[in-house]
Chain A
Amino acid sequence: QVTLRESGPALLKPTQTLTLTCTFSGFSLSTSDMCVTWVRQPPGKALEWLALIDWDGETYFSTSLKTRLTISRDTSRNQVVLTMANMNLDDTGTYFCARMRWTDGAFMDVWGGGTTVTVSS
């Protein structure tokens, strides 16, 4: 059974850096076709893709946020870490990690439950 779980701070101040960890089980990020991706959702708004890391360690970032994002993996601990620098009020929302399957169209087949992040002074 594939599961993913997000963890990180619930509250941040503007300009701080967000660090989120996705801990997964049931698959190996070293296996071809496997990726882990991050998606966020501001309150009442649509899903927005942020970043992904693939089985080779290649990384991809949202064009609009790439200067603020990093993504890394620890395959031995089955974790993927996303950092987002210089947080502002507009970054408030729910952050999801998901397993992404590269073949057949880069779809997200299993999602974590999400973690809520609030940016407030």
Chain B
Amino acid sequence: QSVLTQTPSTSGTPGQRVTLTCSGRTSNIGSNFVSWYQQLPGTAPKLLIYRNNQRPSGIPARFSGSKSGTSASLAISGLRSDDEGDYYCAVWDDSLNGPVFGGGTKVTVL
């Protein structure tokens, strides 16, 4: 069982906006910056968001992150078929002295 809790799956139609959530504790999300990763089928994870809401170069503005208290969110607007895959949140945990991942959310585009 993961330290961070993510909804196992969500779906949307092309063009729609979906929001993924990541719930943690004071020792992790409540104290540190959250990052988000996209893993398309059969590929390595890819950084989407760091420092709660910053996008690396090359990541479109359709992806946005936010954090409030001990929860974080990733929003995908203008959903596209090639957004289908698994999305993971991660954050440093002060109690465990290492990064922790969420269990992942599988995004399906209907």
Contacts and interface: CB of A to CB of B under 8 A. Distances in A.
User: For chain B, what secondary structure do more than half of its interface residues adopt (helix, strand, loop), or is it mixed?
Assistant: strand
B24 interface: no
B68 interface: no
Interface size class on chain A is 20 to 34
Given A111-B46, A114-B44, A105 B92 contact: yes
B108 to A, nearest CB: 16
Contacts, number: 76
A63 B99 CA distance: 11
Given A47-B88, A113-B44, A105 B101 contact: no
Given A49-B90, A60-B97, A112-B44, 16 more contacts: A39-B45, A46-B103, A60-B98, A63-B97, A96-B44, A98-B45, A101-B50, A105-B32, A105-B92, A106-B32, A107-B33, A107-B50, A108-B37, A108-B45, A109-B50, A111-B45
Give me the 3 closest cross-chain CB pairs, A-B, nearest first.
A105-B33, A107-B35, A107-B50
